[in-house]
Amino acid sequence: MSEPTGAAIPGPDGKPRCPWGLSTEDYVAYHDTEWGRPVHGDDALFERLSLEAFQSGLSWITILRRRETFRAAFAHFKIADVAAFTDADRERLLADPGIIRNRAKVDATLSNARVLADWPAGELDSLIWSYAPDAADRPAPRLLSDVPAITDESKALSKELKKRGLRFVGPTTAYALMQACGLVNDHLADCAARTAVRP
């Protein structure tokens, strides 16, 4: 009997994984070792928030394959350094074929860095993680169709980030951030990676 559509499927090593984690070679390591693992630190979370914003309207694989170029272009997403970017840096970014040259997303990233540079150290980390739901209230998804795109928590996080002056942080982007950074565990119930991340 075949697996239900969207259920965990075995990879070449026999381990069951979320189907998207086997869709390209690039995804296997990301799925197995990064996605859903807790991420802490203001700069690290700024990077993830920025990359999720750049991903909006695109496939994550597009961003993943350009991540190192993004890091080089944006000073490894060190908030203080990006906040100090000049108009010349902005033009450099808009001319860089190695990143996504979307003017609104570039401007949002620079603006967000300037906002965050004024926050106390640890504030971004503390704020984002304060919206992590209780894992006990979230049953493990069995199928991809069980995984939401937006939750009440992501709506609330998005609202708070916008209230504090951040841009390109809608509820879908906020939830993608929560998934990627381990605030929620959306690995499927039968996925081998599920037990390796926050329950």
* Amino acid letter for position 88: A
Catalytic residue at 30?
yes
Catalytic residue at 52?
yes
Active-site annotation holder among 20, 60, 119, 129? 60
DSSP 169-180: --HHHHHHHHHH
Both tokens assigned to 193:
């990676």
Does 76 carry a binding-site annotation?
no
Active-site annotation holder among 20, 30, 119, 129? 30
Active-site annotation holder among 27, 35, 47, 52? 52
Does 40 carry a binding-site annotation?
no
User: How far is it, in rounded angstroms, from Cα 63 to Cα 114?
Assistant: 23
Catalytic residue at 3?
no
Q: How far is CA 107 from the centre of its chain?
A: 19
Does 18 carry a binding-site annotation?
yes
Beta bridge partners of 17: 9
Q: Which residues are annotated as a binding site?
A: 18, 31, 187, 191
Q: Which residues are catalytic?
A: 30, 52, 60
Binding-site residues for Zn(2+): 18, 31, 187, 191
